[in-house]
Amino acid sequence: MKKLLKIELKKILSYKIFWILFGLYFIFLILGLLMAEFMINNMIDNMNKQIPLLLPHVNIYFFPDVWQNIAFFATIRYVLIFPAIVIIILITNEFTFKTIRQGVINGMSKLEFLCSKLYIIILSSIIITFFLGIGSLIIGLSHTSGTTLEMVFEKIPFLLGFFITILTFQIYAFFFGFIFRNTGLSIALFTLYTLIIEPIVYYFLKSPLVFKNNISPYLPVNSALRITEYPAIPVLKKIMGLNLQDGISFTTSVIPLLYAAIMIGIVFWVIEKKDL
């Protein structure tokens, strides 16, 4: 495992496009998270102009809710596709440059090759989660006065939820990259599926005319996003009808992991079967 990670890091660390995309991701993430409160309050101000009952401004950055709120805003699908696209590029590059062939010629097995990419996905998920955790801690500490240790870490399980979401999302990307092999095609189809196709299917399945039981929450992308389904902002319930959520649930978290496991299985099977 150490050897495979070393090889992967050699490929990545000198890759300018990787740093640019990852840098952009972090910039957007930080800006987005810092602007979230401002934007919600802006929305409240606009509403207050139209209704007589004044709604109070929200503060989303205090402990312990900051964990949940940041996990929620960081797992918006428009933000999540950034690191996923980086993963697609890293995988499809191997086909474009034919370096996967060269790797096999030089004595790598196809299995090792897939594992090396999975290790990178796990590593990058850990790194992103780590930075998000540090960020949440700093934001939380600067917005909360008189905290106890218990209060600070009460909702930290949401950070684990974020980790599962970003991990499975990148594994979905891994799946698209290995199945379609072409950078442009994989990115286009992944983006199309995540941002357009699944939301359409979601609303279609939601209709009681289609299925008696609503299965739409169990779609792959939606099930990954559902781990942190709602932010801890009570006023949004009034405005947008968003429910409240106390913590992350085990069953909800397992579903996307199951999808990820199935996709890894399919990729293993296809790669073993198909010529390089």
Report the residue from 97, 131, 203, 211 that binds other proteins according to the rule CB under 8 A.
Answer: 97
Cβ-in-10-Å burial (0-12, 13-18, 19+) of 47 comes to middle
What's CA 28's distance to the chain center, in Å? 14
Binding residue for other proteins, selected from 20, 28, 34, 102, defined by CB under 8 A: 102
CA distance 103 to 114: 12
Nearer to other proteins, 110 or 206 (CB): 110
Phi, psi for 182 (deg, rounded to 5): -105, 130
Q: How far apart are CA 54 and CA 52, in angstroms?
A: 6
Q: With binding defined as CB under 8 A, does residue 210 bind other proteins? A: no
Neighbouring C-alpha atoms within 13 Å toward the C-beta of 227 = 30
Residue 105 interacts with other proteins (CB under 8 A)? Answer: yes
When the beta carbons of 21 and 104 are compared against other proteins, the nearer one is 104
Of 7-26, binders to other proteins (CB under 8 A) are 7, 10-11, 14-16
- Window contacting other proteins (CB under 8 A); options: 42-50, 64-72, 97-105, 189-197: 97-105
Nearest distance in Å: CB 85, other proteins:
18
Query: Closest distance between other proteins and the C-beta of residue 160, in Å?
Result: 33
Contact flag: residue 271 with other proteins (CB under 8 A): no
Cβ–Cβ under 8 Å, residues 32 and 79? yes
Residue 247 tokens, joined: 């913590």
# residues contacting other proteins (CB under 8 A) = 25
Binding residue (CB under 8 A) for other proteins from 52, 56, 107, 146: 107
Comparing CB distances to other proteins, the nearer of 93 and 144 is 93
Rounded CA gap, 251 and 249, in Å?
6
The torsion defined by the Cα of 195, 196, 202 and 205, in degrees rounded to 10, comes to -160
Residues that bind other proteins (CB under 8 A): 3, 6-7, 10-11, 14-16, 93, 97-99, 101-109, 112, 273, 275-276
